[in-house]
Amino acid sequence: MATTRATAEEPDQNQDPEQPPEPAPRTARQAEGRSAVRSLLRLWPYVRPVRARLSVAAAVAIVASCVGLVIPLVLKWMVDGPVADRDPAGVWLGALYLLLLGLAEALLFGLRRWLVARPLAGVEASMRADLYRHLQRLPVAFHDRWASGQLLSRGTTDLMLLRMFLAFPLTFLLVNGVTILVGVIIMLLQDWTLGLVILGPAVPVIVTCVAFERRYAAVARLAQDQVGDLTTVVEESVLGIRIIKGFGRHRSQARAFRELSRTLRGTELRKARLLSAIWGVIITLPELAIGAALVVGVVQVADGTLSAGTLVAFLSTALALRWPVDSIGFLLAMSQEAATATERYFEVMDAEPEGADDTAGARGPAARTVRGGLEFHGVRFRYPDAPADAPPVLDRVDLHIRPGESMALVGATGSGKTTLTALVPRLHEVTEGRITLDGEDIATMPREELRAKVSVAFEEPTLFSATVGENVLMGAGPDAGRPELDRALAIAQADFAHALPDGTATQVGEQGLSLSGGQRQRLALARAVVGRPRFLVLDDPLSALDVHTEAAVEAALRRVLAETTALIVAHRPSTVLLADRVALLSGGRVAAVGTHQELLRTNAEYAHLMSGTEDTEGDAR
């Protein structure tokens, strides 16, 4: 779910100041003015590789429809010929012609279906893969603003609508248009007066279609956004099932879900009403025209000015055009839904990603310094959507962590600790100032290179639906194997993994909820140290551990810290003692730097924090 900022002191920590605010999902009102054709044309890069096969399929469908229009001409020949002449052989021959034409039409339509099935499945798969790849490259700020259900619905429901559009409406809007044109020409050639009667409803039908398209577009967009909202609620309810059950909120959650479902149901009924209205017009007016043509034609046959075969052929052609005309309504509806699905898909794809070689450029008077280690040079940070008069989260932070040194970062809740650590791997970009690693500005480093040097463990560990080993080895290079895994598990005191049913091959389940909080945190710590990183950033990595496990992890972690440069957000004195020095962050600034004992003697705020009277177990922002 998109993050909501409560106060200026505790802003959304995952918002990227280098990126402009991402647009929230557009509402139906915002979608009214856009062109469906313009939206659908954006699919061309995906359709282009299979355009030849789709063109052949459309041509086959047009031929099949035109074959169907030959049937009325055969009926005319049969009525005016063998039937009028009482020639049974001719009737049987005509029946054979009709059978062959019917078989040809069926085979051609079957061929069309075969031609489009495989390439369109490939188009859908390609679009889904591109969407997933793009989501991985988008900045954290984007994911903070967008509800997960909205993103899921774009990768599932919307892409299914696009595949259905490419398979059916895209082809048959063309095929039915050609069929109607050819059919009208045939009817006018049969008898132009009857043809004009049939064409009478054309203008009101066209006007109705234009009005329908505009209104249906807004409702279709609204329904798709509501599906995304409903998906978000379902996902959150599944992930938060322990909270729901623990607080006995299942009834209120079910009630909220019913309300959203009822809202979506109302929107779907609005779509159905619009669709029934256009179908009523499209079906009724042509039927009335066919009835009028039948009356006029019968009178002409009675007067001898029109042959019975011509009337049969004319009416058969008119009836053959009923399906192409009747289908206009739902073809337009499917096209509008596909247009809104396309728009929703490209709302995500148009978001600016974190390029692997994207560099923000050096900030400050120089791009390099002579000192090594991790250094903050006059760093300021403000969230882009923070109020204009709100103070920056970090203000002129100057801090130097020497090579091989570990520094604890201490401060009250809301002082900016977590935000500062998030700047090191460029989860956010600094607003002003520079951060350097061994003298090199991280803003000039490709993100892939930077994140290979810096390893991070967050306060709230995230595990994936994979094995224990796969989760831990995510923090290592592609060549890492069993020795690296065992070493990392030992450092994090996560030997419990070997006792799981399948050892380190045990699936931990979604979000790792099959494990305890302490077990998840130890696996996250193992993931951070498995790759022997040059720089290590730990955000209160021991908060979920009991006292005895914490002591064991600290003992092993000291060996790791001796080999790397580390910044550790700490709340407990025991964690602070892991570090060589301590930096006190207060009000977004570094208020003091020194050893633990020095700060206890010289800084009242630090002594107050370490005394335990301040609740420092909360958010370290």
Reported as a single tens digit per residue, the pLDDT across 249-274 is 777 778 888 888 899 898 889 888 88
- pTM for the complete prediction? 0.69
CA–CA dist 599, 582 (Å, integer): 8
Q: Between helices 157-167 and 148-155, what is the axis angle to 10°?
A: 20
Cα–Cα distances in Å, from 467 out to 37, 240, 360, 464, 472? 46, 22, 37, 8, 9
> Quick one: pLDDT at residue 34?
55
* Banded model confidence at residue 612, pLDDT cuts 50, 70, 90: low
CATH topology of domain 28-349: ABC transporter transmembrane region fold (1.20.1560)
> Quick one: pLDDT at residue 400?
92
Mean pLDDT along residues 564-579: 85
> Quick one: pLDDT at residue 57?
86
Q: pLDDT of 107-160, one tens digit each?
A: 988 888 888 878 888 888 889 999 888 888 887 778 777 877 888 888 888 888
Q: pLDDT of 490-510, one tens digit each?
A: 888 888 888 888 888 888 866
Q: pLDDT of 326-350, one tens digit each?
A: 787 778 888 888 888 898 899 888 8
Tokens of 294: 């039948």
7 pLDDT above the threshold of 70: no
* Banded model confidence at residue 360, pLDDT cuts 50, 70, 90: very low
> Quick one: pLDDT at residue 4?
36
Instruction: Give me the residue spans of the domains in the chain.
Output: 28-349, 374-610
312 pLDDT above the threshold of 80: yes
Mean pLDDT along residues 485-493: 85
The answer for residues whose C-beta is within 8 angstroms of residue 379's C-beta and 6 or more apart is 394, 396, 397, 398, 420, 423, 430, 432, 433, 434, 435
CA–CA dist 292, 290 (Å, integer): 5
Which range among 21-25, 286-290, 602-606 has the greatest average pLDDT? 602-606
Domain 374-610: CATH architecture, name and number where available: 3-Layer(aba) Sandwich (3.40)
* Banded model confidence at residue 242, pLDDT cuts 50, 70, 90: low
Query: Which single residue is written with the structure tokens 């931990």?
Result: 508
CA–CA dist 1, 12 (Å, integer): 12
* Banded model confidence at residue 30, pLDDT cuts 50, 70, 90: very low
CA–CA dist 175, 262 (Å, integer): 38
440 pLDDT above the threshold of 70: yes
> Quick one: pLDDT at residue 72?
82
CB atoms within 10 A of CB 21: 12
Handedness of CA 300, 305, 311, 314 (dihedral sign): negative
What is the DSSP code (8-state) at residue 200? T
* Banded model confidence at residue 452, pLDDT cuts 50, 70, 90: confident
613 pLDDT above the threshold of 50: no
* Banded model confidence at residue 69, pLDDT cuts 50, 70, 90: confident
Angle CA 424–511–524, to nearest 5: 45
> Quick one: pLDDT at residue 23?
40
H or E segment and range at residue 243: helix 241-246
Q: Which of 28-37, 313-322, 541-550 has the lowest mean pLDDT?
A: 28-37
8 Å CB contact between 61 and 112: yes
> Quick one: pLDDT at residue 355?
54
> Quick one: pLDDT at residue 275?
83
> Quick one: pLDDT at residue 583?
92
8 Å CB contact between 474 and 136: no
Mean pLDDT along residues 224-233: 84
Instruction: Name the percent of the chain lying above pLDDT 70.
Output: 87
* Banded model confidence at residue 33, pLDDT cuts 50, 70, 90: very low
> Quick one: pLDDT at residue 370?
46
Tokens of 380: 């300021």
8 Å CB contact between 571 and 615: no
Greater model confidence, 332 or 407? 407
> What does pLDDT average to over the chain?
79
615 pLDDT above the threshold of 70: no
CA–CA dist 490, 493 (Å, integer): 5
Cα–Cα distances in Å, from 372 out to 369, 435, 438? 8, 11, 4
> Quick one: pLDDT at residue 26?
46
> Quick one: pLDDT at residue 357?
47
